[in-house]
Amino acid sequence: MGRYMNIILKPIYRNESFLKSLNDHLSLHYGSNTGIKFNTWESLQEEVDYFNKHPFGVTQVPHIKRPMTKEFIEQQFFWNRYATYSFKLSGGDSSADEARDAVAVCKWIINSRKKYIDTKYSVNYQPSIVKNYLDHYFLQAGYDMNKLWSLPIL
C-alpha cells in the first residue's frame, strides 16, 4: 500500500474560497505545480465526471456502481476527501515534478506553524519524513537541494 502524507485542514478552513486561495498560494510562494493540491468540491466533481463519463474512467473500479457522486468518492477514497491533501510517499512511481507539491505543502505547514491543519489527523508532513522518502527523486533530477528546501520569506 505504501506510506502517505495526508494533510487535513481544521474545520474552520474547509471552504471553497480558502482552498482555492491556498492552492494558488502554494504555487505562487512555495513552488508547487499549478492546480489542485487540497481537494475542492470542484475538483471532486471533475473526478466524478471522469469516473462516470470518460471512456477510460468508466473502466476503473468496475465493481463500483455508476453513477458515482462526490460524496461517494470522498467516503470511499481517502485521497479524494474534501479539504485534504494526500501524496503517496512510498510504493509508487512519482516524479520530482509531482513530489514538488508535497515539499511545497510541507514548507507551508512549517511557515504557518501548523495553524491551518488538524494535527490530530494529519500525518507524515514533517520535513525529515518527506525528505527521507522524496529527496532521491530530486537528486536524480538534478535539483539544488538547499534551494528546494529553503523557506520563502513572506
Q: What is the pLDDT of residues 78-92, one digit of tens each?
A: 889 999 999 999 987
Quote the pLDDT of residue 93: 81
Residues 121, 143: Cα–Cα separation, whole Å: 31
- Residues 123 and 144 both lie in one domain: yes
Q: Cβ distance 107 to 151 under 8 Å?
A: yes
pLDDT tens-digit map of 65-119: 999 999 999 999 988 999 999 999 998 788 999 999 999 999 999 999 999 999 9
Per-residue model confidence (pLDDT) at position 1: 67
50/93 same-domain check: no
- For the segment 47-71, the average pLDDT, to the nearest whole number, is 94
Overall number of domains in the chain: 2
DSSP β-bridge partners for residue 143 = none
Range of the domain at 77: 41-81
- Helices and strands (H and E) in the chain: how many: 6, 2
Residue 34: what pLDDT?
A: 87
